[in-house]
Amino acid sequence: MKFSGWPEPGELVVGKVDEIEDFGVFVDLEEYQDRRGLVHVSEVASGWIKNVRDHVSVDETVVCKVLEVNESSQQIDLSIKDVNDHQRSDKIQEWKNERKADKWMSLAFGEEMDDERYGSVANELYGEFGGLYDGFEQAAIHGAEALESTDLSEDDVSAIVETARENVSVPYVNVTGYLQLRSANPEGVDDVRAALEAAEGNGEVPDEIELEVTYIGAPEYRVKVQAPNYKTAEDALEASVERARISIADHGGSAEFHRERQTEDE
Cα-based angle 157, 163, 165 (whole degrees, multiple of 5): 100
The per-residue pLDDT for 135 is: 95
The per-residue pLDDT for 142 is: 80
Integer Cα distance of 53 and 182 in angstroms: 75
Assign 125 to helix, strand or coil: helix
What's the CATH number where 20 sits?
A: 2.40.50.140
- Which helix (H) or strand (E) segment holds residue 161: the answer is helix 154-167
Q: Is residue 6 part of a domain?
A: no
The per-residue pLDDT for 263 is: 53
CB environment 46-72: b (16+ within 10 A), e (fewer) = eeeeeebeebbeeeeebbbbbbebeee
Residues 248 and 257 sit within 8 Å (Cβ to Cβ): no
The per-residue pLDDT for 231 is: 85
Give Cα 196 to chain centroid, integer Å.
Answer: 32
Cα Rg of the chain, angstroms = 27
Picking from 167, 202, 229, the residue at the C-terminal end of a domain is 167
Q: Provide the residue type at 58 as one letter.
A: V
Q: Is residue 4 part of a domain?
A: no
145-182: per-residue pLDDT in tens?
Answer: 899 999 999 999 999 999 998 898 877 888 899 999 99
Q: Provide the residue type at 46 as one letter.
A: S
Residues 39 and 24 sit within 8 Å (Cβ to Cβ): yes
The per-residue pLDDT for 141 is: 81
- Which helix (H) or strand (E) segment holds residue 78: the answer is strand 75-79
Assign 130 to helix, strand or coil: coil
> Domain residues for 187?
173-258
Same domain, 98 and 163: yes
Same domain, 123 and 139: yes
What's the CATH number where 120 sits?
A: 1.10.150
Assign 40 to helix, strand or coil: strand
Picking from 82, 97, 114, the residue at the C-terminal end of a domain is 82
Assign 183 to helix, strand or coil: coil
User: What is the total count of domains within the chain?
Assistant: 3
Q: pLDDT (tens digit, 0 to 9) for every residue of the chain, 266 residues total? A: 678 899 999 999 999 999 999 999 999 999 999 999 999 999 999 989 999 999 999 999 999 999 999 999 999 999 999 999 999 999 999 999 999 999 999 999 998 888 888 999 999 999 999 999 999 998 988 888 899 999 999 999 999 999 998 898 877 888 899 999 998 888 888 999 999 999 998 777 887 889 999 988 878 999 999 988 888 888 999 999 999 999 999 988 999 998 775 554 44
**Burial bucket for residue 94 (CB in 10 Å: 0-12, 13-18, 19+):** middle
**Burial bucket for residue 256 (CB in 10 Å: 0-12, 13-18, 19+):** middle
Same domain, 188 and 154: no
Overall pTM surpassing 0.75 (yes/no): no
Same domain, 183 and 243: yes
Give Cα 67 to chain centroid, integer Å.
Answer: 29
Picking from 82, 111, 135, the residue at the C-terminal end of a domain is 82
Assign 237 to helix, strand or coil: helix
The per-residue pLDDT for 218 is: 78
What's the CATH number where 218 sits?
A: 3.30.70.1130
Residues 255 and 195 sit within 8 Å (Cβ to Cβ): yes
Q: Whose CA is closest to 24, among 41, 45, 48?
A: 41
